[in-house]
Structure 1
Amino acid sequence: MTGSMWRSVQGLIGRLFPASYRWPAQDIRLDHRLLHLVGSIHMGTRDMQPLPARLLRQLQKADALIVEADITQGGSPFDDIDPREPLERRLTADDRSRFEALCGELHLSPTMLDTLPAWQIALMLQAQQAQRLGLRPDYGIDYQLLQAAKQLNKPVIELEAAEVQIALLKSLPDDGMALLQDTLTHWHTNARLLQMMVSWWLDAPPRQPRIALPSTFSSALNDTLIARRNKEWRDRLRALPAGRYVVAVGALHLYGEENLPTLLQQ
């Protein structure tokens, strides 16, 4: 049997007899590498702690934990950012009105954010939204996995590192204004998406990777923040040495168009 025929048979077996987990996850075999792909949420609820015992057994058997970035290391990634011109010169009148309304809802001072880069303001607003929904960083799945890996003395491999992620945000056109505008425009849709991802952990994850997800990014942002990174991670994961790995990436990278599991199996 040729290699391509064998991969086709493996794919058919995987579709007919998919591994069933009560958290968003999928097993991918790449020759002598077995990946347990976990759809992480970077901020979680108290009910998402502790991690499922079956997931911890996966980690115990693994040769390493792979994450987007080791968020337990280093200081603030937002140090040494030069001030920008006031937001009233950068936002349209409609977006400024939305921004001020959200600041009032979140009890934030607009002047505190006024000279920050647009991408940083977007991230801060999104973090505040997650906290209002009851999510906390200490309950995040990747944070809990990192803590468990340290207790088990498992190596941690970063797909990007925090510095790379910040560099990506800094490289967005117009200082990430599109990210801020999308955050303001799709505020309630993003809240529903967060609640959906929490339900994947507390209730039941979707069984099919190509599901319809609420759109919270423009197509250009989606390409930069999701699709392009999925392709880079695919190449990194394919280059791993033989072994077993638990791979924790943001849950949105496992679903929708050009998702990571599909790219790995192509």
Structure 2
Amino acid sequence: MLTKAIRSVVFLCLFAVLGTVQFVSAASSVWQISQGSSVLYLAGTIHMLRADDYPLPAEFQDVYQASDLLVFETDLAQLLDPVIQNRLQQSLIYPEHNNLRQFISDELYQEIAERWRKANLPPMLLPFMKPGGVAMTLTMSELQSIGVDTQGIDQHFHQRAKRDKKPVRGLESVDQQISYLATMGEGNEELFLKQSFSEMDQSTEFMGELIQAWRDGDKASLERLVVTDMQQQFPALYNRLLVDRNLLWLPQIKQMLKSEKETELVLVGAAHLVGQDGLLRQLAARGYTVQQLP
């Protein structure tokens, strides 16, 4: 999920339509959202890191300590359940009578087969894999080869919350997440896979830049690295993975801000936070104060 077409973060426009947006120069990827005396924290995450990316920035530790409830994209414990993992794997395989060769050129299929062979993946599985499954499997293999094999921020805080007995919840069901992954590249298979491989071949440089931009809260660099191609080349995927999900999450975040009894820490992929359709601008437009933490 880390190609340009899948990793999606947009530049945050520095104005609000109806609300107040406050930003500081020494930034992080953590924001405080408030209305009156009600506050929650919204943090952008990266789902896989390198071992030397720990410890995390201090802002993440501070808001974790200040929060009573952690909210993730989905129920991570359920997502890791073997039954759910099997359902995810099955969703990435074509139904009977379909196979990958039907949707891409012979030349591209041969390139995929060679990459598959070099990654030591089972050859008999490839013909039946959907584009999303191919891209994710090969990307994960490539990332592991360059040392990006440590749990990401979501898993880190989910495990910590479990240990500290802090309650957790998800913004969407695991079935919704599975559906998003299973349909990636659908209808535009050739271009989607070619773009994925192009980014995969630059993964070492890319991941270094991406993690540094995330660590610095550098919104302009995040936009350059992860969203432009997705918006231009895959508008349907952009709408499905980012816009639609943000619109589903907004009412839940607004409901959290109605209560002053507890402080929530909402951790979602950094792509969901910024840009024209991002949660930050959408919340500011609805009258909430949005402040990037130093």
Say yes or no: TM over 0.5: yes
Q: Tell me, yes or no, if structure 1 residue 221 matches structure 2 residue 237.
A: yes
What SS does structure 2 have at the residue aligned with 1:78?
helix
Q: Which stretches of structure 1, 4 residues or more, deviate above 6 A after TM superposition?
A: 7-10
CA contact (8 A) 2:161 2:168 kept: yes
Deviation, structure 1 residue 54: 4.1
Judged with a 3 Å threshold, the aligned counterparts in structure 2 of structure 1 residues 216 and 102 are, in CA distance, closer, same or farther, namely farther
Q: Which amino acid aligns with 2:242?
A: I
Deviations 1:208-251 (A, max 9, x none): 69843444531211111112212222222112242322111112
Q: Are positions 1:78 and 2:97 aligned together?
A: no
Whether the aligned pair in 2 keeps the contact of 1:48 and 1:201 (CA below 8 Å) is no
Tell me by how many angstroms 1:192 deviates: 5.0
Note closer, same or farther for the CA distance 1:257–1:109 as it changes in structure 2 (3 Å cut): farther
**1:153 aligns with one of 165, 176, 181:** 165
Report the 3-state secondary structure (helix = DSSP H, G, I; strand = E; otherwise coil) of the residue aligned with 1:247: strand
Provide the aligned C-alpha RMSD in A. Answer: 3.2
Q: Structure 1 residues 210, 182: CA separation in 2 closer, same or farther (over 3 Å shift)?
A: closer
Q: Does 1:133 align with 2:146?
A: yes
Aligned pairs for 1:35-46 (under 5 A) are: 35-46=40-51
Cα distance, 1:187–1:148 mapped onto 2, change above 3 Å: same
What does the per-residue CA deviation read over 1:33-71, in whole Å, with 9 as the maximum and x for residues that have no partner? 422221111111102233344422311221211111232
Aligned amino acid, residue 268 of structure 2: V
1:179·1:221 contact (CA, 8 Å) conserved in 2? Answer: no
The Cα shift of 1:151 comes to: 2.2
Measure the CA separation in 2 of the matches of 1:250 and 1:236: 16
Q: Can you list the C-alpha shifts for 1:109-153, whole angstroms capped at 9, x where unaligned?
A: 443322123322222122223222311252x01111111211222
Q: Give the direction of change, closer, same or farther, for the CA distance of 1:251–1:192 in structure 2 (3 Å limit).
A: farther
Kindly tell me: are residues 144 and 10 of structure 1, through their superposed partners in 2, closer, same or farther at Cα, counting changes over 3 Å?
Answer: same
Q: CA deviation at 1:95?
A: 2.5
- Report the counterpart of residue 258 of structure 1 in structure 2: 277
CA distance in 1, matches of 2:67, 2:25: 17
1:88 aligned residue (74, 82, 101): 101
Equivalent in the alignment of 1:3: none
Match for 1:200 among 210, 213, 219? Answer: 213
- C-alpha change, 1:30 and 1:175, in structure 2 (3 Å) is farther
Equivalent residue of 1:150, what SS?
helix
**Could you tell me how far apart the structure 1 residues matched to 2:175 and 2:276 are?**
27
Any gaps of 5 or more consecutive residues in structure 1? 1-6
TM superposition score normalised by structure 2 = 0.72
Matches within 5 A, 1:28-39: 28-39=33-44
Q: C-alpha distance in 1, partners of 2:65/2:264?
A: 10
Consecutive unaligned residues of structure 2, counting only runs of 5 or more, are 1-15, 286-294
Between the aligned partners of 2:205 and 2:236, the Cα distance in structure 1 is 22
Distance 1:172 1:201, change over 3 A: closer
AA aligned opposite 1:42: H
Contact kept in structure 2, 1:67 and 1:249, CA below 8 Å: yes
TM-score, with length taken from structure 1: 0.79
The change in CA–CA distance for 1:111 and 1:142 in structure 2 (over 3 A counts) is same
Q: Which secondary structure does the structure 1 equivalent of 2:253 belong to? A: helix
Q: For residues 106 and 30 of structure 1, do their structure 2 counterparts lie closer, same or farther at Cα, with a shift above 3 Å needed?
A: farther
Distance 1:8 1:257 in 2: 11
In the alignment, structure 1 residue 67 sits paired with structure 2 residue 72 = yes
